[in-house]
Amino acid sequence: MESVLSQTSKGYEWIVIDGGSIDGSAELIKKYVEHITYWVSEPDDGIFNAMNKGIKKASGDYLLFLNSGDCLADSDIIEYLDNCTLNDDFIVGKACSTKDTLALLKQKDNYTTEETIERLSVSAFPHQATFIHRNVFQKYGLYREDKQLASDWYLTICALIKGNATVCFIPRIIAVVEPNGISQRYHSQLYQEREQLLKETPFLYSLMSFYISNKEIVKAIRNNHLFFYLFRIYYYFYRKFSL
């Protein structure tokens, strides 16, 4: 909460969704109530139900989701985004797990190249460091609440593959995240949910399976401009008539 209050730019909404905690969270929220745009403390049906509540109350152009154990990395994060004047569907920065790694990560630039489906086959955008345009939710709906871990990943996949959503990567650490989060603790369940979601859309399942099983072929195609161009033509018509 201090990392939000310390932002040099105040051009943001601060929405707090608490799941009816009985550990003093509601009392802590009330101490900051004059700075909070909207807050609620009530039982919910899981992480994505809570995130959907926040989406419905938000009116800004971009949404960023911070968990209760996460914080913004610096006091000028919002100011930095304001100065970027970006309008992509996804603006993806970096997230580090502890403050001890912050200085090291600032020397790296892992997000200067275009994100590929190959990467999303084994990982996901860090939601604590990803600004998502509200148009994404208007076009593809809210997060699915029947899954506990993979709904944000699935919405990203649908937006990128089915909707040609745009992505911009920024060389900036956005958030310091709490280590050993729920997705790390339930790693096997996360991948089970991803596979279940993909199987509901055969085209997505086939494409992701191809990427996972043929990474060297995919890499070779991407490195050869002619083959990559032909592949994109095939991919366009396959998607057009398969969905």
* 39 exposure class (CB count in 10 Å sphere: 0-12, 13-18, 19+): middle
Tokens of residue 238, six digits: 């396959």
Q: Evaluate whether 20 touches 14 at the Cβ level (below 8 Å).
A: no
Kindly give, in sequence order, each residue whose CB lies less than 8 Å from that of residue 140, ignoring residues fewer than 6 positions away.
155, 158, 159, 163
**CB atoms inside a 10 Å sphere around CB 199:** 10
- What pLDDT sits at residue 157? 85
Helix/strand/coil for 161: helix
Kindly give, in sequence order, each residue whose CB lies less than 8 Å from that of residue 222, ignoring residues fewer than 6 positions away.
116, 228
- What pLDDT sits at residue 225? 63
Dist CA 15 CA 138 (whole Å): 19
Dist CA 19 CA 17 (whole Å): 7
- What pLDDT sits at residue 160? 82
pLDDT in tens, the chain (243 residues): 999 999 999 999 999 999 999 999 999 999 999 999 999 999 999 999 999 999 999 999 999 999 988 999 999 999 999 998 889 999 988 888 865 555 445 444 444 334 456 667 667 888 899 999 999 999 999 999 999 889 998 899 888 877 778 888 888 899 999 876 665 555 678 878 888 888 887 767 777 776 666 666 666 655 666 666 666 676 666 656 655
Residue type, 193: E
Q: Evaluate whether 24 touches 47 at the Cβ level (below 8 Å).
A: no
Dist CA 12 CA 70 (whole Å): 18
- What pLDDT sits at residue 50? 96
Q: Give the helix ranges, DSSP H, for the chain.
A: 2-5, 25-31, 47-57, 77-84, 102-105, 117-120, 134-140, 151-157, 182-185, 187-199, 202-213, 215-223, 225-242
- What pLDDT sits at residue 138? 94
Tokens of residue 78, six digits: 């919002």
